Amino acid sequence: MHDLVQEYYGKQLTRTEDLRTSACCDASAIPEWLKLLLSNIHEEVLVRYYGCGLVCPAELKGARILDLGCGTGRDVYALSQLVGPEGEVVGVDMTDEQLAIAKQYQPYHAEQFGFDNVRFIKGYIEKLAELDLALGSFDVIVSNCVINLSPDKSAVMQGIYDLLKPGGEFYFSDVYSDRRVPDVVKFDPVLYGECLGGALYWKDFERLAHQTGFADPRLVEDRPLDITDTALLPRIGNIQFFSATYRLFKLDQLETACEDYGQAVIYKGTIANHPNHFMLDKHHFIETGKVYPVCGNTWKMLSDTRFAAHFEFIGDFSRHYGIFEGCGTALPFETATEAGATPCC
Ligand SMILES: C[S@@+](CC[C@H](N)C(=O)[O-])C[C@H]1O[C@@H](n2cnc3c(N)ncnc32)[C@H](O)[C@@H]1O
């Protein structure tokens, strides 16, 4: 599978438009503050963007970030501006052609930004331990439309867990399916290269996250994927595919369900670019200044991470009130009809 993917991204595709699905994001849905950062990135890097979501979480100044399957480096160069000269962004990819372009424009971006805080490494995301990266040394690990392409997702997840600092997070966009993908779809070379064949059934992804130690994966945003190439449609049958962004915190004490301890938080409105609200995930839109009831897990995701200084915390874990209402088990993504005009990012 590695050879097939290297051939697809290194030789067959030369620009975003070559893709045969709507996996890539609609530029109109990108927030203004991010558009500004993207406008500083070289066109040659931008035209080879093959991601499926936005992987720029809030509060990154000074952070150390790892981008898995960085391609030509669009996200690395966007994140580079967000972490600033005190931070660092490391991009890993296995495909020479992708890395060559990423590295070619490193001096250009250093000149544009006024600092050089990025590094690109050739390697396999299943073998992160071989890359000479210190364990527990990253604040945030991101990835954009890559994990589905890996034949050993369990090894990838374990490597990520090991490289994150305690309280760090894996924030990533990828492709998911509403059911397990049969072999006839999985081993179709075009469907695999297009990020559909290797897509994880969403419930299996949750299981894998739990097994790795990420007890409470949080869905940030999602959208149904259109298969724009009619030749591919009959091969897929009734499987529905989604692009989704999840955030997974490395916090030992998280519980497998949202438990109610009568706690609440107040957002101070102090995170850059987020003065009016902070969105932890799709179900937690926290308005500035408002007392916002939370479960024990959400409390820890805010109090034991880089977000702590931006919140006031009310309560403790001394009394348990049962399960926190609204913990769902149905398909978490919005289908095409439900999604309507919802922006993808
Ligand atoms: C769909 S592209 C996404 C690229 C980039 N994240 C972006 O948003 O433009 C997938 C990238 O992941 C890389 N990749 C896929 N599987 C990989 C693996 N097992 N190890 C390292 N890189 C991998 C490919 O070489 C390719 O550059």
Q: For 276-298, write each residue's pLDDT tens digit.
A: 999 999 999 999 999 999 999 99
Could you tell me the pTM of the whole model? Answer: 0.94
Q: Give me 270's structure tokens.
A: 């102090």
Mutate to test the pocket of ligand 1, among 16, 49, 94 (most ligand atoms within 8 A of CB): 94
Domain-located, residue 182: yes
Same domain (yes/no): 220, 117: yes
- Beta carbon of 98 within 6 Å of any ligand 1 atom: yes
Q: What is the mean pLDDT of residues 94-117?
A: 97
Contact 309, 152 (CB under 8 A): no
Which atom, in ligand 1's list, is nearest to the CA of 195? 1
Same domain (yes/no): 240, 289: no
Cα separation, 188 vs 62, in Å, equals: 42
Same domain (yes/no): 118, 24: yes
pLDDT above 50 for 344: no
Cα separation, 248 vs 169, in Å, equals: 5
Per the structure, the complete domain to which residue 114 belongs is given by: 2-254
- Beta carbon of 21 within 6 Å of any ligand 1 atom: no
Residue 123 CA to ligand 1 centre (angstroms): 11
- How do residues 235-256 score in pLDDT, each as one tens digit? 898 999 999 999 999 999 999 8
- How do residues 182-237 score in pLDDT, each as one tens digit? 999 999 888 988 899 999 999 999 999 999 999 999 999 999 998 878 888 888 98
Residue 47 CA to ligand 1 centre (angstroms): 15
Same domain (yes/no): 191, 302: no
Q: Can you give the pLDDT at residue 4? A: 82
Per the model's pLDDT, the better-predicted residue between 303 and 5 turns out to be 303
Report how many domains make up the chain: 2
Give the β-pairing of 88-93 and 64-68.
Answer: parallel
Domain-located, residue 335: no
Domain-located, residue 344: no
Domain-located, residue 167: yes
Domain-located, residue 158: yes
DSSP 157-217: HHHHHHHEEEEEEEEEEEEEESSPPPHHHHT-HHHHHTTSTTPEEHHHHHHHHHHHT--S-
pLDDT above 80 for 345: no
For the domain that residue 38 is a member of, what is the CATH number?
Answer: 3.40.50.150
Same domain (yes/no): 231, 305: no
pLDDT interval class at 28 (50, 70, 90) = low
Same domain (yes/no): 249, 278: no
Same domain (yes/no): 144, 233: yes
**Percent of the chain having pLDDT more than 70?**
94
For the domain that residue 299 is a member of, what is the CATH number?
Answer: 3.40.5.100
Phi-psi region of 96 (alpha: psi -120 to 50; beta: other; left: phi over 0): alpha
